[in-house]
Amino acid sequence: MPALAVAEALRADGHRVTFVGGERAEAELVPAAGFELRPISVRGLSRTNPFAAAGAGALAARATAAAARILRAERADAVLGGGGYVAGPVGLAAVGRRIPLVLAEADSHLGIANRMLAPFARRVCLAFPLGGRDGGRYLVTGRPVPPPATDLDAARARFGLGEDDRCVLVFGGSLGALSINEASVEAFADAPYRVLHAAGRRDYEALRSRVPGDHYALEPYLDRFGEALLAADLAVARAGGSVFEIAAHGTPAILVPYPHATAEHQTGNARWMERAGAAIVVADADLTAERLRREVDALLGDPGRLAAMAAASRALARADAAAAIAREVVAAAGVSAP
């Protein structure tokens, strides 16, 4: 999603963008956004199974060669690496072909691919300030997100929310977050407010028979997700890259970081919002239906505090992140808009 936001900014300025990706979310999202996707076969390196790691390494070598052929065919002027294991071979191919490389790190730590490629990059664009990552090579841009929804009346009408309805938005990523899903269905069974719950495709079928009433809307996925953030009075969520979308919409949040995230980056993301006064953080191990209901009821019962959290959230937003990274890519390429 951050790469798509940058691609949209580049396309808006007249530049041609081609994606190189694997078979995960990009296989659906990139073509749907109107961009060409050139696939390569690659998988993440196992940190526990040496045989699987060796197989992944051999696959990465072949993927690097395939990426080099794609870059040659596309006559690429610059390459933007968005992190993740797919970006590793493409970045290495760019270095090998002496094509300017720009990196974007969307989390509160540098992933393996970005750590490996950073010494060769013209610029490393960071979502957060990172200790030891300063100097001319590094630039804090924030995490690129799609343009936020702005029509509050239309957003609330889409979800059938009346003028006096309060709404809690629950989500946990495309697959969902099992602990949040389970706690929410129980916590809000008799809630006096509306609940909009994007449960993820993995857990949706198991949860749908447990939806407690008409006040509770359970969906596997919500498109035009910004409208849901804009319509909601409060969000309950994990603390991945979505924290920047939450901030872009000024939505107060209760964040439950995924406890097994690499380098505990979700905890870092959540604490960043908490320090600013934009969120309350609840550890996954401490999340119960009773705790969740208590936290939500307390916030919805305190409009002044909600308003202060919303203002703090908006103050964290970096609306220019996609444009800033796009400028770095164009500068690295040494080209101007057609």
Task: Give the count of beta carbons closer than 10 Å to the beta carbon of residue 137.
Answer: 13
User: Cβ distance 79 to 71 under 8 Å?
Assistant: yes
Buried b (16+ CB within 10 A) or exposed e, 160-196: ebeeeebbbbbbbbeebbbbbbbbbbebbbebeebbb
CA distance 271 to 273: 5
Amino acid present at 324 = A
pTM of the model: 0.81
CATH of span 152-316: 3.40.50.2000
- For the chain, the straight-line distance linking the first and the last C-alpha, in angstroms and rounded, comes to 25
10-residue averages of pLDDT along the chain (338 residues): 93 95 82 93 60 59 91 96 87 95 87 90 90 83 90 97 96 84 95 95 88 90 93 96 92 95 86 96 97 98 97 92 96 74
190 secondary structure, DSSP code = T
pLDDT given at position 25: 77
**Secondary structure (3-state) at 123:** strand
Tell me, yes or no, if the two domains 2-146+319-333 and 152-316 fold the same way. yes
Question: Cα dihedral angle (215, 217, 222, 224), rounded to 10 degrees?
Answer: -30
How far is 246 from 239, CA to CA, in rounded Å? Answer: 10
For the chain, what are the domain ranges? 2-146+319-333, 152-316
Which of these, 181, 187, 302, lies nearest to 234 by C-alpha position?
A: 302
Q: Which of 126, 71, 135, 73 is CA-nearest to residue 98?
A: 71
For strands 123-126 and 234-237, give the pairing: unpaired
Residue 13: the pLDDT is 95
Superfamily of domain 2-146+319-333, CATH level 4: Glycogen Phosphorylase B; (3.40.50.2000)
